[in-house]
Amino acid sequence: MGEPDISGILESLSRDQQHAAITKFLQRELAVERQKIDLLQQQGSHQSMGGPSHTRRPENLKTDISRYKRTDEDSLLRWFVELYDANWARHIEGDEMKVTFALSNLIRRAKTWALGLKLHDPNWFESLDIFKPRLKETLMPPRAEFRARSALLRLKQGKRGVHAYVQNLRFTSSVTKNRVNGHTLINVFIYGLVDGPVKTYMFQEDFHTLEKAIAYAEQEDFSLRQSQTNSSNYRPTRRQETGGPEPMDFCYIEIENFRSLSHKRTARCHRFQKIGH
């Protein structure tokens, strides 16, 4: 209905009926506005209790990874693990971003090789799945798997402690792509120990996992070192040998001579019963 129609209806009504119609209309509009206000207040209370309705972006964890420089000490497989963890922690998405981040952590010969290929063809590394095998084919040492297994099988403790020997064993075993059997690692670990009480105790037990064997060896090594430390406190101090003649105390010699002479002067002869005889 338009405004002329409403004016015609109001003119046909009496004065009291017009006031009643206008009052009823205003009350109905006021009730609608109050409902809108109540709804807005409820929405505001829910937002204040539950926090902002928009989803928060996850925070990035800026983890550092070692820079790969292609030396015999570096392990490319371990570097790939660090790279994967860093991409996940930093929320790096997209193939180009992952490849760029990987290239930024190359130095020396590895970085020279990668940048040379990028200059030749900007799309040479399209994704990280293409970047990894090409990096392995070019920069991984020849026969790396065979060399790593050989170094693992002839590993010995030497002059190192048990803890350093264990860390070297774990590093060498992680370099290999195809993991060595657990029982083989246990045998390599036990036979590589230095001959002594720890190795003797290890042969008396049966271990099903490498971690149990390592824990047992470290406990025995700690107990052995602790017993040696405690027993050394009760040992008498060794006399230092100078290698020269033993020093003489002349004051002590003079006192002893004086005592012997005074004793002779006051002593009585057993045969003649004379003093000083």
Q: Rounded to an integer, what distance in angstroms lies between the CA atom of residue 172 and that of residue 180?
A: 11
Asked if 153 and 171 sit in the same domain, the reply is yes
Question: How many independent structural domains does the chain possess?
Answer: 3
- Provide long-range contacts, Cβ within 8 A and 24+ apart, for 99-104: 99/125, 99/126, 99/127, 99/128, 99/131, 102/128, 102/131
Q: Are 88 and 79 a contacting pair, CB within 8 Å?
A: no
For residue 156, the 8-state DSSP code is -
**Per-residue pLDDT at 240:** 60
179 sits in which H/E element: none
Say yes or no: 149 and 221 in one domain: yes
Q: Is residue 244 part of a domain?
A: no
Q: Which of 191, 205, 196, 206 is nearest to 227 (CA)?
A: 196
Q: DSSP labels for 46-100?
A: HHHHH--SSPPPPPP-----PPB---TT--HHHHHHHHHHHHHHHT--SHHHHHH
Token pair, residue 153, equals: 């099988």
Residue 236 confidence (pLDDT): 57
pLDDT at position 271: 56
Q: Residue 268: what are its φ and ψ, rounded to 5°?
A: -105, 135
Q: Is the dihedral of CA 118, 122, 126, 127 positive or negative?
A: positive
Q: Are residues 151 and 216 in the same domain?
A: yes
The one-digit pLDDT tens for each residue of the chain (277 residues) are 556 656 666 667 677 777 777 788 778 888 888 888 888 888 777 666 655 555 566 677 777 788 887 766 667 888 888 888 888 888 888 888 888 888 888 888 888 888 888 888 888 888 888 888 888 888 777 777 788 888 888 999 989 999 999 998 988 887 777 778 889 999 999 999 999 989 998 988 889 999 999 999 999 999 888 887 766 555 556 556 555 555 555 555 555 555 565 555 566 665 555 666 5
User: Do both 104 and 160 map to the same domain?
Assistant: no
Token readout for 41 is 């207040």
Same domain, residue pair 118 and 175: no
In a domain, residue 69? The reply is no
Q: Is residue 114 located within the same domain as residue 152?
A: no
- By the 10 Å C-beta count (0-12 exposed, 13-18 middle, 19+ buried), 106 is classed as buried
How far is the C-alpha of 91 from the C-alpha of 61, rounded, in Å? 8
Residue 191 is assigned to a structural domain of this protein: yes
Among 129, 177, 128, which Cα is nearest to 152's? 177
Q: Note the pLDDT of residue 189.
A: 93
pLDDT of residue 157: 92
Amino acid making up residue 57: R
C-alpha 63/C-alpha 81 separation (Å) is 13
Domain range holding 80?
76-141
Within its chain, how far is the Cα of 213 from the centroid? 22
153 plus 137 within the same structural domain: no
The pLDDT, as a whole number, for residue 165 is 93
